A and B are shown apart, each in its own frame.
Chain A
């Protein structure tokens, strides 16, 4: 039985889609503006740090039709982008969502584990919170890049009236360059984001519209890599399976087959009665059986110990197991 949860507040969903439209239009109109002079050097000088001086962006990537049209769009849409971004940041700050995004100790190692998983070096999906470590890094970087895009944009919009800001970025030519580089970074991260949504977690697309998210179909539960989604991770079957010495029913055994880490937590031995399943219990149990998670995170170790102690976790899992795996 799926357990839809409210994953995204409506403010986050609304600002996400406004941002998607505004950023797309800003990038496309910005490229049209860039094409009016697709280089960075001052007239009569050369520019060190751009190997494609004079190469225009392909016309199909641009928006606005001509320089003036693109400028009109750019200078109108910039307010939508900036105000929408400010609303998002204010919400994330006041509502506490920033805690899901703020870097913590261990994030680099977790990101490395994710890379290993995606590169088939590691077999099981690392345990994660709301986002995996790679996602978290991107979602943390995007707002800062947005702020940089706005600041460098102001620096080249008003190089005389805001001369100190322009000077901060190294002068007009460099500010224009940084504005472009920030845009490129935003586009690369954004493209990666969109790719991963479709390739790894298509559910999250609907989730960003309705807000609902079914954790039992999360990439972690499905052990999902790009375009490769496993069956729902049968951690719950393990939790309810009898010890290895005892005979295992055939369907259970098939379901229980999963890559097992060497330091995997032992499954709870008993099979208690079954209270209604709760998403919490499922999550906790998943944590208990993930070797990487138990090793990596203090937080999870605590929940893992509680997962083994009360029979509730295992019991709840048992029912879910019947429904998810028995099919």
Chain B
């Protein structure tokens, strides 16, 4: 009886020590494989739940989203310098029949969508903002994607920031290549000249300072995805 009790006490103490040691740590190294595996399983569940008909609508009475934080990975807000890089144009390429080069004027002439939606940040906050832009599905149709295009990589001029998406999420009706916010063209704080915006993915998947939309037969990771954040990052 006492032996068992002592055994339990020692077991409890060592468990407590392990927990104390583990606090604010990333956990044991060996667990990482399991966590990666769990992430892939979660992706299957998320893809199973995904519907093009699931829409997000920020409540109409929400404040105008001028409090949306600015975010980029470069030292200052990235600015497209025409003197150095020439005129900005969005390249739609990869597994497509007709690659496109669209200037801001070209984009503005395409059928546009204006939507007030929630922006879900991975950190847990939300902001409601109105974006205007062209659906990625419209671009996909114009470029004529090939059947093996299962993924899309959204690339930027923000120090190599990019994130790749599954085609289903990219062609969701609320996934836009946005060039206006709250009725004005984007400022360099918010991803000018154009950015990806969608409520169906967490904020970090929405590449700003967009340069290329590349359709691909396989996924291409991403800036935060490669650092450990979920590649799928769906909402």
Contacts and interface: CB of A to CB of B under 8 A. Distances in A.
A65 B25 contact: yes
Nearest to B23: A60
A184 interface: no
A33 B39 CA distance: 16
Interface in A39-83: 39, 41-45, 59-69, 71-73, 75-76, 79
Given A44-B66, A63-B22, A37 B35 contact: no
Interface string B38-73: 110110001001110011100100110111110000
A62 B4 contact: no
Given A37-B125, A44-B127, A161-B235, A63 B25 contact: yes
A146 interface: no
Among A64, A71, A161, A171, residue most surrounded by chain B Cβ atoms (within 10 Å): A161
B228 interface: yes
A37 B228 contact: no
18 contacts: A34-B124, A36-B123, A42-B126, A60-B23, A60-B24, A61-B23, A63-B23, A66-B228, A69-B27, A73-B27, A75-B38, A160-B54, A160-B199, A160-B200, A161-B51, A161-B235, A171-B59, A209-B8
Nearest to B35: A72
Contact of A159 (B31, B120, B230): B120
B168 to A, nearest CB: 11
A49 to B, nearest CB: 16
The interface residues of chain B, by DSSP majority, are classed as: loop
Contacts of A75: 38-39, 42, 230
Contact of A32 (B24, B46, B63): B24
Contacts of B31: 73
A37 B235 contact: no
B26 interface: yes
B109 interface: no
B49 A65 contact: no
B8 A206 contact: yes
Interface string B201-235: 00000000000000000000000100111100011
A228 interface: no
A284 to B, nearest CB: 27
Contacts of A171: 59
A40 to B, nearest CB: 9
Contact of B54 (A39, A66, A161): A161
B100 interface: no
Size bracket of the B interface: 35 or more
A163 interface: yes
Among B121, B227, B229, residue most surrounded by chain A Cβ atoms (within 10 Å): B229
Interface in A169-193: 171-173, 176
A231 interface: no
Contacts of A39: 125
A274 interface: no
Nearest to A205: B8
Contacts of B49: 158, 161-162
Contacts of A32: 24
B56 A36 contact: no
A210 interface: yes
A65 B26 contact: yes
Given A43-B127, A44-B67, A158-B46, A63 B27 contact: yes
Nearest to A80: B38
Contact of A36 (B8, B36, B122): B122
B34 to A, nearest CB: 7
Given A43-B65, A69-B26, A206 B4 contact: yes
Given A62-B24, A66-B26, A71-B229, A43 B8 contact: no
